[in-house]
A = this chain, B = another copy of it.
Amino acid sequence: MDAVIEYLRTNQQRFLKELCQYLRLPSVSAQSAYKKEVARCAAWLAAHCTQLGLETRVFKTKGHPIVIAKTPADAVAPVRPGSRLPHFLVYGHYDVQPPEPLELWHHLPFEPYVKGRRIYARGAADNKGQHFAHLKAVEAYLKTKTPLPCHVTFLIEGEEEVGSPNLVPFLHAHRSELAADAIIISDTGMPGLRYPALTYALRGIISFEITVRGPKSDLHSGIYGGAVDNPAMVLCSLLAKARGPDGRVAIPGFYDDVAPLTQFERRQLARLPLKERDFKRLLGVPQLFGEAGYSTEERRSARPTFEINGLTSGYQGEGSKTIIPAWARAKVTCRLVPNQHPGRIRQLVLEFFRRECPPTVQLEIKSGSGSAPYMISPESPRAKAALRALRAAFGREPLLMREGGSIPIVPQMSKVLGAEVILLGLALPDANAHAPNENFDVRCFAKGQLLSAYLWQELPRPAE
């Protein structure tokens, strides 16, 4: 291991230059004008992996290519007869968000710029810098001829920012080859440089578009007001019934499957550095809010929600217009937590609104496909191994955290490949992912390489 650590220590400048080359490639997956650039980026990445000694292939998809790079058979430690070395899959994505609005960038988004301890460029944190750290760790093993205690396969796709439409079919088609003991993803955040963290849970999500229809057209509120129901009022009443003033979702059965927080988890979440007063100031709200009996951290990551994302009805211009609107619509999303099931929650929400809707209007509900919540045990041997690697790399006591957002591919990959996903995010809270002046801290980059190098040592072998 000493050779690996030393290799990483002495090659940081070159690694940074290489990352800048990678960041210079404008691999914007959402905009068809960049299609060739996305392919060029995949080719650059594949060539780089090959150069490191990985067995690399570029797979075409209906969209952007997927790069697969594997450690060669001779890179691993010898294995006792009758046992096998574990296989870990590192997932990442080489595509990036569109850079717009360009005028808000201090430097051009595809001309990487190092200032202080940060590299500024589109894709720096999300996600090129993060998976590049893992590549550099494996490079250190290969180049120092230090035997790896496991097989590692990199799966770096080019469509994450457009919803990964071709990933699951690809996983199915290559399931046996990609079957792994665990999947490592560094594509989330950490609370601060002094707060390395393992994310052991994600919330799921399900979306609804709820439309209430009343009269066939907008009505004069003078001529008809009082004699027909108002779709906007019905919508408001329905939505108000769905969440209590106590912050709890009031849809019967909604909490039935919610896995309660353990005392261990609550102690862990209480260690996170952002405090209530920080949240209040950060968000600019007059007062925080939420379900009684839970902390802000718990509310925003370990408890499910029913949120209105948008409201549309009737007249929205200047002044007033005296109408009863013909219809009213709300966009709603529910965040789900383990062990809620998107399909069951969809059913409960539909039943609730259908039951509560008065006969004076018509109700239409469209619902998205949803994404399941995800969780690994924070006390499992694998979680403990990840924590040991974090501690070794960062020299700090690592935290256990839950992510309030949803990453649909995490439960999907886990399901298709039958492997747990270990989330080791390296982006700081001000990394500006999806925003102008996206950046990655060079210390996160370097510590991330160490984390990866230690991780291969720490992760448990398959039971024999």
Contacts and interface: CB of A to CB of B under 8 A. Distances in A.
Interface of A: 203, 205, 207, 209, 214-217, 219-230, 232-233, 235-237, 239-241, 243, 245, 247, 279, 283-291, 296, 299-300, 303-305, 307-316, 319-325, 328-331, 333, 335, 358-362, 368, 403-406
A283 B309 CA distance: 30
Nearest to A315: B310
A308 B300 contact: no
Contacts of A303: 226
Contacts of A237: 236, 240, 245
Contact of A404 (B225, B241, B288, B359): B225
A256 to B, nearest CB: 18
Given A310-B323, A311-B316, A312-B312, 8 more contacts: A222-B403, A222-B406, A226-B335, A286-B361, A308-B314, A310-B315, A310-B316, A315-B331
A39 to B, nearest CB: 27
Contact of A285 (B205, B214, B314, B404): B214
A236 B311 CA distance: 10
A275 B229 CA distance: 17
B322 A310 contact: no
Contacts of A221: 305, 307, 309, 333, 335
A236 B228 contact: no
A320 B309 contact: yes
A223 B286 contact: no
Residue in A236, A304, A316 whose Cβ sees the most chain B Cβ within 10 Å: A236
Contact of A222 (B205, B308, B331): B205
A207 B321 CA distance: 9
B314 A360 contact: no
Given A226-B290, A320-B333, A216 B284 contact: yes
Nearest to A434: B220
A173 to B, nearest CB: 28
Given A245-B358, A360-B289, A225 B307 contact: yes
Contact of A315 (B309, B319, B322): B309
A425 to B, nearest CB: 13
B310 A325 contact: yes
Contact of A307 (B230, B319, B368): B230
B227 A405 contact: no
B228 A239 contact: no
A92 B85 CA distance: 95
A229 B286 CA distance: 10
A224 B313 contact: no
Contact of A311 (B232, B287, B319): B232
Nearest to A229: B289
A332 to B, nearest CB: 9
